[in-house]
Structure 1
Amino acid sequence: VQLGRLQRRLREALQMPEPANAVLLSLRETGNENALQQRLQEIVDLEDLGLILRRDASGRRYFSLESRRLLLDPLLVEQVNRIVAENGWEVRPTLAYLANLMTDDKELVEGIASAIGRASDPSSPITTVQLAQAASRFLPYSIVAGVEPDQPPPWGPIILVNGEPAPPLGPDEILLSAWAARDLWPNGDWQGRIGKPIVTLRYFVEGDGSLLREEARTLKLAGIFRVEPPGLDPTLTPEFPGLRGARIQDWKPPFPREQWHPEWVRERDELYWRRYRAAPKAFVSPETAQALWKSRHGNFTSLRIAMPTRSAPGGAAQQKATAMDEEAIRSAITRQLPAAELGLAIVPVKARGLEAAASSTANMFGWLFLGFSIFLIVSAMMLVALLFRLGVERRAHELGLLYALGYRRRSVLTLLLLEGLLLACLGALSGVFAGIGYAWALVNYLQQNWNGTLQTASFLEFHVASQEAPYGALPYPSLTLGLLLTISVAAIALAWSAWSLSRQAPLALLGGGQSTDVAIAPSRPWVAWLTAGGFTLSLVLAGVSFLVPPSSAPPLFFGSGGLLLVAALGLLAIGLGRKDPQLAEGIGPWPILRLGAGNARRRRSRSLLTAGLLASATFLIISVEAFRKSESTDAGGRDQGAGGFSLLAESDVPLPVNPASPRERRALLPEHSEGELKQLEAQAGEARIIGCRLRSGDDVSCLNLYQPLEPRIVGVPPALIERGGFGSQEWALLATAHKEGAVPVLADDHTAQWVLHKAIGDQWQIKDELGRTVTLELAGLLHGSVFQSELLMGEADFLRLFPSRGGYRLFLIDTPAFQTRSTQQALELAFGEAYGLNVIRTADRLASFHAVENTYLSTFQMLGGLGLLLGTLGLGVILIRNILERRGELALLRALGWSQRDLLWLVMSEMAFLVIAGLGIGLSAALVAVAPHLFARVQSVPWAGMTALVALVLLTSSLAGGLSALLTLRAPLLPALRRE
């Protein structure tokens, strides 16, 4: 909206010519916020802090410090008291309050009854006047102040009508002005009422939500004071919102129209207003005032500050001294009041935005993506090593010839590495461009899947940073680092393959470097040690995970699963190094299958690499799939994510009361007709509604791609605490207020683990409404709930920390299943326009969370898919190479009477052994990695999806291996038999 237009609308309400609550600064250099705040502290004045300093009515007794918010913040009162004490001044906190009615109920009732009785005598000519007089024995809309009337100058003493100083006021005592006494007792017979509880005050207090509730209190009459200073002092009353104008009838008080009664106001009341404005008509003790009107917004309406005693006489000199004293007060308060703690602070919004982005969910996604990519990187290393080894083995004769010509091993290794690195550089350079395309496709995939779910999805853009800290002048750091790391990883794989092959004797290399009769040798001792260490560490991590907080257990279990994967591959390597003591004897498919499986031992490194590729892909795909959620997951009973509620509503404007009953709904909808209200009850009358308070802030769920700095906080009412649910047993911790120590809060387990990075018992700090630092403690967790976007705090603590957040904005609605849709439509229709109420199904809210989580999981599973592609490619290459190397054997078997089908069974059995071994190892490790999730939510685990993925991996590998074997065996075997 246009600034000028908004200022014009707020000008009258705020009594400011050009109101503004934020100033945007554009700076060339950042990071000097402290210097700016210090400079701001030097130039700030009281008005900038929303404070008003004015002299008392006489202009000589004291100064009154007031707030535009009417009530002074407790932090401000504390700071001003400190400043006043340091300067040797005196201060008196004051609380003034508006009483709706002030009456002597007994006198009023008796007077009206007597007047009505006399009205039955038609011969009495003054009955109407008497009735009017009796009915007028009340004071409407009068100010009552909490002061000590017996204080010495400059505060008092207040003088009674008999000329004596007023006595100290005790609890539940009231001192009335002579003006008020004439209203309550026109006959002047108040003397006999001194010391009796006869004066009744009726006043508003804040009820449920922000609705005003009228209460009454009867006080003892302590005396009647003169209508003259210091008892007559309009300065005791700050300017109440809406209480201004030439007449009381012109007031626009800050309470509902139906609770404002201008018809009560008489001409006598208007006369007092014209003469004395808001001067109090009664006084109570400060203790009584606090007991009656203490508010969560503040305890005092003004601070009266008295200057040190002046010896100078009155007149012009005295006025000059007063002016100088005012400047001294202003200077002392503005210089020592912490403006930042009172809301006038320099906020580095850009730095905070960058900080939120740097430590955000999106950044965490990058690290998780990189972590899951480790499996893909290792798989790629194994495949590169395998393909390079196979390529070099085909040129073993060349290597043997180089050795025979006198080349040293180092020279041969260098030659092989240079050749391999040239190809690796070309491949890495191609991979950079392929990676750019993959990243672009991934960002577009996220945008399409999150459109309409994430408010920040529209900010997702693909870009390649040209400069990025901390790499300084490194051009395109992410691409450059990726290129260098890829070449380095490829170099390691190439060096390992070349070194292992160069260890063969030159004579063997001259003979081809490969033998179809490969000896089966036992594994080296370090393999056994690696296997034992992997199993041991896996068990240790699994055991430790049961001793740490639940939020820290998943990484430990993932580590345990990864170690189990390595250990199981080591165990497979040991098994492949052992000879089978039994021969594959007999006729039929079983001996053929056994013989084929035994062939995996002949090329142990190839077999191990193939199984490792498939195991890594299976581990990644299955472990990620275990966390996938369906649309109906966690939307069931009271202990599930929806807590048994079918609808969730949030309003833009706070509702003064919880619309839980027809009476509250009628009060909230005064403009609705009787027919509209009946229709609302017919459609939503069966709904049970629980209203919660809400402090707006940053979304703390996965729907927010940035790090939340000021989280949304929900004030939980006692009704929800008693009801419980959402899979948490710690609701009782929110039932009482915690004025000291950390404030307990509940959070969703997903929010705590992935966004806040907190565990039960962890503490962190936020700012309350007054700018004070408050410590929060995570006391409990909800499991997959609809409250993933906010923290839950007890209502008592919420009102203490955020006193101005009146009313209810978040509503949990429980309806019969057949009325869910009609209730949703009826509530939106009734409260949508007036309060901006938006009602959604809890299942839809959970589905939005699940959609984002599942999108993340899908991106991780894409890595598993690439790993599976590498695994099937490696399986096919190895099978083809093994068949080509053993074509002589296969030809001999064919000549001895084996059928083509038997040969296919022989080759496929070797492939099946490797596939089953890799799949079994990966599946076992994955189940260990996700064990906490399986144990905690066995009913929500997508067993069908996991089973389907296992079948898909098995089918893909089998098809790749079978197709490779079938195509290879179709080639003629006679030339190979001749060479054999």
Structure 2
Amino acid sequence: LLFLLGIEQRSSELGLLQAIGMTPRSVRGLYLWEGLILVVLGAGAGTLLAVAYAAFMMYGLRTWWIGAIGTKFLTLSVQPVSLIVGAVISIVVAGIVVVWALRRTQHFSAKQLLQGRMSDDSLSGHKPLGSIGRLLGMLPIVLALTLAAITLLGLVPKQEAFGGFSWRIVAFFLVGTFMLWGGLSSLSLLLQSEFFGGVVGRGWYAETMLALRNASRNRRRSVLSTNLLAMAAFVIMAVAAGQQNPTQQRPEPRSGNGGFTLVAESNLPILYDLNTDEGRAKVGLSSQNPDVEQSLQDVWIAPFRVRSGENASCLNLYQTQLPTVLGVPNDVLDKLIEEQRFTFADTPSDAPWELLREELPEGRIPVLGDMNTLMYSMHAGIGGTVDVPLMEDTAGGTLEIKGMFANSVFQGVLVMSEENFLKLFPTRAGFRYFLIDCDPENSQAVTTLLEQHLGDSGFDAEPVADRLADFLAVQNTYLSTFQTLGGLGLLLGTFGLATVMLRNVLERRGELALLRAVGLRPASVGRIVLWEHALLLLWGLATGTIAALVAMGPHLLSSGADVPWGSLWMLMGLVIFFGMLTALFAVRAAVRIPILSTLRGE
């Protein structure tokens, strides 16, 4: 954008070089080398700033966000290859923009370049849009409304699409994307429409209409500036809306908590079935005790066998080889299948829990694992294998990943059937991992009762929501860092818009001087410039924000959404404040234009 503005500002130089005999190709080549030199210097400076920003983020992870990382032993690792690749990509992308900006000059004669006529209106003024142009401009809005209607009418299937996202979530995101596209195309249509034939009236209405007409004078530049703001706002709002807080989510079978309220672990195995009166009596939970009877009424405890391994959750920064393995008993597995507990990601089965009973060739054992554990801690996916070495407590074998949970309480572990568990780990007796389905209002009483009677076994229970919150703290922290980077981009876009506005004022100094000459007060001229800037700024922010909120609609309506609205609106407020503050430079330039000398120059 800045290079394009620079070329337009120096168009008279290009025209002069052509007028004295240089070919247009030679002139473009001269400016191309100049642009590439600036691009290389900018890429070098940007690379150094990127390293500094990364170091700043590392400091933040060791201090402000240490609760999510859990260690202070985190240092910046700078890989020269990564820096070179990033710099080269930046140079290539910026180089393409430079070439595109210079190619625009070939459509202008030397006379036009000498006169500085390279803006949109210099070619043939406003061209009325044809019916095809209007239809293409309205296409994204039509697509957004159509897809939204189809989704709200329930015609979109609820099945998983990919990565743990349902088709409904994908549809909403597409609606938001189309709305972003439609909002920007609507601005382009508005600025190119015949609505700006002339301005009749007085006061703020006339000033506003003049501001709109000025914005349409160089439509491409105005739309490009608004695009930058809208896309930055979209990214910031979408990233912020993705934050989750499981403590606000109620137990639901088709969710990461699987409908369970509590999760518990014990140091020593518990050998009895805590769902029967006989098993409870063995550990002192007699049904004759009214407190026990009342607290454990309608409580289902799902036990799992455990073979301890490495921590493979997001709380562990290191790659793991063999995580903790859980064995789910047949009766528990039947109930999990029947009630369709938990959500799965990229799992090719309508009944994912059934995959644990599948017979695999070469004696491989089917397992399920959390998507975050498999992809980021173990660098594996569906179809991947995990070797279990022959050890004192295991017969050894190979595990094959058949499915992935989506943001579940099983993060950090692998789950297999009890039958396969006993074949692989024959010496492991009893149960040490428990998921407890109970009324959330009764969870504290259940926790106290079980910890009191099973304290000798080291029984410790906590809300599933708290366990999930610990896991998601890392994800939310990363989203916060991306939001910070997006905010920086939004501020840069704001200053870019201010640069565009200042350039527009300098280009139109003759027009503004004429307005002063025919009687408009300096304050009126300043307000016209300010309204134009405010239109583009607010249109971009509103388009990106609304589109992002629609795209993230399903998540925002869920009980686990935890959007930092306060910081978001504060950021948007700061952007508007600094945007209008920087606009004052353009206003100041507009009201200080000398009338006589400027009109003589015209």
Identity of aligned pairs, percent? Answer: 36
Alignment pair present for 1:693 and 2:305: yes
Residue 624 of structure 1 deviates from its aligned partner by 1.3
Partners in 1 of 2:83 and 2:132 — Cα distance? 37
Q: 1:421: which partner in 2?
A: 36
**2:216 alignment partner in structure 1:** 601
RCO comparison, higher one (Cα < 8 Å, 6+): 2
How much does 1:577 deviate?
A: 3.0
State the Cα distance separating 1:886 from its structure 2 match.
2.5
Per the alignment, residue 515 of structure 2 pairs with: 893
Task: Please give the per-residue CA displacement for 1:556-583, whole angstroms capped at 9, x wherever unaligned.
Answer: 6667865764565455445433332653
Residues of 2 paired with 1:683 and 1:639: CA distance? 30
Match of 1:844 among 466, 469, 472: 466
SS in 1 for 2:247: coil
**Per-residue deviation, 1:406:** 0.9
Distance 1:407 1:453 in 2: 62
SS in structure 2 at match of 1:857: helix
Q: Hey, what's the Cα distance between the residues in 2 that align with 1:906 and 1:968?
A: 11
Selected match of 2:582 from 955, 960, 964: 964
Cα distance in structure 1, aligned partners of 2:59 and 2:525 = 48
Cα distance between partner residues in 2 of 1:752 and 1:530: 44
Write the distance in 2 (CA, Å) between the matches of 1:757 and 1:575.
49
The correspondence for 2:495, drawn from 864, 873, 877, is 873
SS at match of 1:549: strand
| Equivalent runs, 1:474-489 vs 2, <5 Å | 476-489=80-93
Aligned mates of 2:12, 2:198 — CA distance in 1: 34
What amino acid maps onto 1:410 in structure 2?
Answer: R
Please tell me whether residue 520 in structure 1 is matched to residue 520 in structure 2: no
* In structure 2, distance between residues paired with 1:956 and 1:975: 33
Deviation at 1:610, TM superposition (A): 0.9
The amino acid that maps onto 2:305 is R
> How many Å apart are 1:629 and its aligned residue?
1.3
Question: CA distance change for structure 1 residues 459 and 549 in 2, over 3 Å: closer, same or farther?
Answer: farther
Partner SS state of residue 304, structure 2: strand
Larger radius of gyration: 1
**Counterparts of 1:857 and 1:654, CA distance in 2:** 39
Distance in 2 (alpha carbons) for counterparts of 1:642 and 1:900: 64
How far apart in 2 are the matches of 1:516 and 1:638? Answer: 58
> After superposition, where does 1:269-348 map in structure 2 within 5 Å?
none
Q: How does 1:366-381 map to 2 (within 5 A)?
A: none
Contact 1:684–1:822 under 8 Å retained in 2:
no
Seen in structure 2, the aligned counterparts of structure 1 residues 417 and 950 have a Cα distance that, compared at 3 Å, is farther
How far apart in 2 are the matches of 1:622 and 1:535? 20
Match of 2:484 in 1: 862
Q: CA deviation at 1:927?
A: 4.8
Question: Which residue of structure 1 lines up, in the alignment, with residue 429 of structure 2?
Answer: 806
Shift of 1:892: 3.2
Match for 2:78: what amino acid? V
Shift of the alpha carbon at 1:701? 4.1
1:892 and 1:977 in contact (8 A); partners too: no
Secondary structure, counterpart of 2:265 in structure 1: strand
- C-alpha spacing 1:828/1:872, structure 2 compared with 1 (3 Å): same
Contact 1:646 1:814 in 2 (8 A): yes
Once the two structures are superposed, residues 321-355 of structure 1 have per-residue CA deviations (whole angstroms, 9 ceiling, x without a partner) of: xxxxxxxxxxxxxxxxxxxxxxxxxxxxxxxxxxx
Q: 2:418 aligns with which of 785, 792, 795?
A: 795
Alpha-carbon distance in 2 for matches of 1:958, 1:908: 12
How do 1:167-566 residues align onto structure 2 when only pairs under 5 Å count? 386-448=1-63, 451=66, 453-454=68-69, 457=71, 460-465=74-79, 476-501=80-105, 503-513=107-117, 518=122, 519-521=125-127, 549-551=161-163, 565=180
Amino acid of the structure 2 residue aligned with 1:809 = R
Pick the aligned partner of 1:940 from 547, 552, 560: 560
Output the CA distance in 1 between the equivalents of 2:271 and 2:164: 42
- State the match for 2:505 in structure 1: 883
User: Match for 2:395: what amino acid?
Assistant: L
TM-superposed deviation, 1:552 = 6.8
Q: Structure 2, unaligned stretches of length 5 or more?
A: 389-393
Pair 722,490 (structure 1): closer, same or farther in 2 beyond 3 Å = closer
- Could you tell me which of 625, 631, 634 is aligned with 2:249? 634
Q: Which residue does the alignment assign to 1:614?
A: 229
Aligned-pair CA distance for 1:873: 0.9
Q: CA deviation at 1:424?
A: 2.4
1:721–1:731 CA contact under 8 A, matched in 2: no
Aligned-partner residue type, residue 577 of structure 2: L
CA distance in structure 2 between the aligned counterparts of 1:901 and 1:683, rounded to whole angstroms: 79
What does residue 391 of structure 2 align with?
none
Q: Could you tell me which amino acid in structure 2 is paired with residue 425 of structure 1? A: V
Conservation of the 8 A alpha-carbon contact between 1:403 and 1:506: yes
Equivalent residue letter for 2:531: S
Q: Note closer, same or farther for the CA distance 1:436–1:973 as it changes in structure 2 (3 Å cut).
A: closer
State yes or no: 1:979 paired with 2:594: no
Check whether the contact 2:369–2:413 (CA below 8 A) recurs between aligned residues.
yes
Comparing 872-881 and 510-519, the one that deviates more:
510-519
Residue 429 of structure 2 aligns to a residue whose secondary structure is coil
Q: Distance in 1 between matches of 2:180 and 2:195?
A: 24
Deviations 1:214-252 (A, max 9, x none): xxxxxxxxxxxxxxxxxxxxxxxxxxxxxxxxxxxxxxx
| CA gap 1:817/1:799 in 2 versus in 1, 3 angstroms | same
User: What is the aligned partner in structure 2 of residue 715 from structure 1?
Assistant: 327
TM superposition shift of 1:523: 7.9
Partner Cα distance (2:77, 2:423) in 1: 45
- 1:905-930 Cα distance to aligned partner (Å, 9 max, x none): 42233223323432344245535654
- Say which SS state the counterpart of residue 654 (structure 1) adopts: strand
Q: Determine if contact 1:879/1:964 at 8 Å carries over to the other structure.
A: no
| Displacement of 1:522 | 6.0
Distance 1:737 1:566 in 2: 45
Aligned partners of 1:612 and 1:963: how far apart in 2?
20
3-state SS of 2:295 partner: coil
Equivalent residue of 2:560, what SS? coil
Residue by residue over 1:584-629, the C-alpha shift from the partner in whole angstroms, topping out at 9 and shown as x without a partner, is 3223423322331222111112101111101110121122122111
Change (3 A) 1:604 1:788: same
Question: Is 2:409–2:467's contact at 8 Å kept on the other side of the alignment?
Answer: yes
Verify the 8 A CA contact 1:763 1:776 in the aligned structure 2. Answer: yes
Give the structure 2 partner of residue 777 of structure 1.
402
Q: What root-mean-square deviation, in Å, do the aligned CA atoms of Structure 1 and Structure 2 show?
A: 4.8
Aligned residue number for residue 703 of structure 1: 315
What amino acid does structure 2 have at the position aligned with 1:413? R
Q: Is the 8 A contact 2:192 2:219 kept in 1?
A: yes
Q: How does 1:107-186 map to 2 (within 5 A)?
A: none
- Whole-Å Cα distance in 2 between the matches of residues 725 and 458 of structure 1? 41
Q: Give the TM-score normalised by structure 2.
A: 0.76
Contact 1:734-1:745 within 8 A present in 2 as well: no
What is the match of residue 657 of structure 1? 272
* d(CA) in 2 for partners of 1:515, 1:733: 60
Number of residue pairs aligned between Structure 1 and Structure 2: 567
Aligned to 1:586: 201
1:737–1:796 Cα contact (<8 Å) kept: no
Q: Which residue of 2 aligns with 1:911?
A: 533
TM-superposition CA deviations, 1:19-73 (whole Å, max 9, x none): xxxxxxxxxxxxxxxxxxxxxxxxxxxxxxxxxxxxxxxxxxxxxxxxxxxxxxx
